[in-house]
Amino acid sequence: MPDPRPSPAERGREEPPEGERPSLRPRGRPWRTEGLPPEPGGPRFRIDWWKVASRVALVYLAVFAVLTLQDRLQGPTTVPYSEFQRQVEAGNVGEIFARGNTIQGALREPKPVPEEEGETYERFVTERPVFADDDLMAALTETGATIRARPVAEERGVFANLLLSMAPILVLVAFYLWLFRRQQRMGPGMFGGQKKKPVDPETVRVTFDDVAGIDEVEREIQEIVDYLKNPEKFRELGARAPKGVLLTGPPGTGKTLLARATAGEAGVPFFQTSASEFIEMLVGVGASRVRELFQAAREVAPSIIFIDEIDTIGRARGATHAMGGHDEREQTLNQILTEMDGFSGAEGVIVLAATNRPDILDPALLRAGRFDRQIVVNAPDRDGRKAILEVHVRKVKLDPSVDLEQIARITPGMTGADLANLVNEAALLAVRRGHEAVRHEDFTDALEKVQLGTARNIVLPPEERRRTAYHEAGHALLGMLQPGADPVRKVSIIPRGRALGVTLSTPESDRYGYDAKYLEGRMIGALGGMAAEQLVYGVTSTGAENDLEVCTGIARAMVGRWGMSERLGPVSVLPKEGDPRMFGVSEGALDALGEEVRRLVDQCYRRALELLEQHRDKLDAIVEALLARETLDEAELYEVAGIPRRTDEGTGTARVSTRD
């Protein structure tokens, strides 16, 4: 029996009943929509201010031209002063206006224009020479001419006077229109807004086919899709969908894409916003925008609201009195709590939110009945990276030499966003090289650029170049000698970014837990560059700055967070952020922490020196090969050093050692 319910695509296109039309997003509101049905009668009229300005300018130019032509046609005719004298003597001048030596006036009867056949004039203007000694006043008085105190030829028509009188009003109206539009953009809840045409769901929506590498998360979110597609099935058994789902995980793991795919798979409207867009200087604007967002979602239910970076407004509320922006943030958070608590479960509105800091969220936001479910979106494993690469290369023309399995193996720790960037960089590199398709070497070179940085065209002095070679060779040799260390993939003395040389190590397989022995090996490898310089030159340089930061960070975490110190024991004295003293850690514990960190670093440094002294011949061989070739890959490096390649498990993340 066929299913009478419409498909998600058909349901996304069908018209809602009359009286339940959705109110589309006004221009300037802090959210974006997908999948909303079209507005009745099409999109509302929208003012194009550029067209309005251009038309006003054209009207102004036309009026200016008409008035100018009017002045030219109706204006006075310039005549010689001698012609003016003849008309005065003939008694034909009816009225005049004089300002300085300029005389304007009108004749009683029109007369021919001198030296112009067929043209007559009645109004005139002339210039009285400064050397004229005639008694003009007496002559005009004798003929009965009228001498006025204002010019007789400067009066404008009714149309010009009307425009001039309305000009201030038009300027004032234009100013208020501009002010209204600006307030509309800054605070749409205060003045309303224009309707905006919704995004076409057929062109922008994504589904679970566009999401890869997080299959376990898709299974968790599938219940949301099932509820939005067939809510009656849940209601019959008395079940309800979670009111809210919180997606947590590192940046770039696909939290936003997963939320959009959930809406696309269910075929429902999708409202996307960032929590920071609710915060304004004016207190109360954020809460108003939250009310508008939830009301718009209810009107087109079933629907999904997605709030990205919710930790911006969802931070735990403190006991101290908040002022200013904190007051606005707390009011916005309170409104979100109220709106989510007001769901009865029958509206069909699901709230999805994303953050990479779930530990700082307010407990009221995480309680059952608001965000009922928390889903962790981690970085993908090797199989997941391969699946993500397959998604991103759909529209890329690949050469048969491309091996996605190998690329996935050498990119541990990369998120979906990193892999998308890698595919794009490889495609750009293939275009620059003029390849007809993206080759495997384009991917490896793009990965080198992403992980190691862009090569700089600088020439190092021979002594500095050799010192850099010893520094990187020390990293590489200790990485090959240490048991359980990540295999060294590439060593280069080509300056990249801020580094003069780089050593890249990546694991053979993903690993998620580290023991003390492995961490000490990482510290020894990080100190290999500094130890090599000390062994060969007897001094160290500033190039070991990054290595010391890495080594000290590992030692501090081992002692202060992971309980890997006999002196401090299995306690954690270093919080993830903030001053340890604020959490009750004593000064004595902090002093012991510093001493243990120093002991660990000194112990690893001595071990690095011992290993390099024992294998000095291998160190010199790597240096000579680097000076000759500048870059050594994994196979060349192990061959030059004469060390068999190992396939031990590593950290699950790529590691880069540099010399600054």
Task: For 141-158, write each residue's pLDDT tens digit.
Answer: 777 787 775 554 455 555
Burial bucket for residue 241 (CB in 10 Å: 0-12, 13-18, 19+): buried
Q: Which of 85-94, 395-404, 458-467, 508-517 shows the lowest mean pLDDT across its residues?
A: 508-517
- The mean pLDDT value for 6-26 works out to 41
Q: Give the pairing of strands 655-659 and 631-633.
A: unpaired
Q: Is 472 a catalytic residue?
A: yes
Asked whether the predicted pLDDT for residue 11 surpasses 80, the reply is no
Give 368's contacts (C-beta < 8 A, 6+ positions apart).
none
- The mean pLDDT value for 274-288 works out to 70
Band of residue 123 on the pLDDT scale cut at 50, 70, 90: confident
pLDDT digits (tens, 9 = 90+) for 612-628: 999 999 898 998 998 88
To the question of pTM greater than 0.75 for the whole model, the response is no
C-beta neighbour count of 132 within 10 angstroms: 10
21: its two tokens: 């039309």
DSSP codes of every residue in 102-131:
EEEEEEEEEEEPTT-TT-EEEEEEEE--TT
Band of residue 284 on the pLDDT scale cut at 50, 70, 90: low
Q: How far apart are CA 544 and CA 548, in angstroms?
A: 6
Place of tokens 């902090």: 590
Sheet of 77-78, strand order: 77-78, 120-127, 102-112, 93-99, 146-147
Give 521's contacts (C-beta < 8 A, 6+ positions apart).
482, 483, 484, 485
Is the model more confident about 68 or about 464?
Answer: 464
Band of residue 15 on the pLDDT scale cut at 50, 70, 90: very low
Q: What is the pLDDT of residue 321?
A: 43
pLDDT digits (tens, 9 = 90+) for 291-345: 888 888 888 878 888 888 888 888 777 644 444 445 667 778 888 888 887 655 5
C-beta neighbour count of 140 within 10 angstroms: 19
Q: What is the pLDDT of residue 602?
A: 92
Q: What is the pLDDT of residue 427?
A: 92
Contact between residue 540 and residue 534 where contact means Cβ atoms under 8 Å apart: yes
Q: What is the pLDDT of residue 601?
A: 92
Of 331, 322, 338, the C-alpha closest to 278 is 331
- The mean pLDDT value for 591-596 works out to 89
pLDDT digits (tens, 9 = 90+) for 157-184: 556 666 766 777 788 788 878 877 776 5
> Which is catalytic among the residues 472, 520, 533, 634?
472
Place of tokens 């950290």: 651
Q: How far apart are CA 464 and CA 501, in angstroms?
A: 11
Of 335, 220, 364, the C-alpha closest to 275 is 335
pLDDT digits (tens, 9 = 90+) for 239-272: 777 788 888 888 888 888 888 888 888 888 888 8
Q: How far apart are CA 460 and CA 469, in angstroms?
A: 11
Asked whether the predicted pLDDT for residue 611 surpasses 70, the reply is yes
Query: What percent of the chain clears pLDDT 90, i.e. is strictly above it?
Result: 6
Q: What is the pLDDT of residue 6?
A: 46
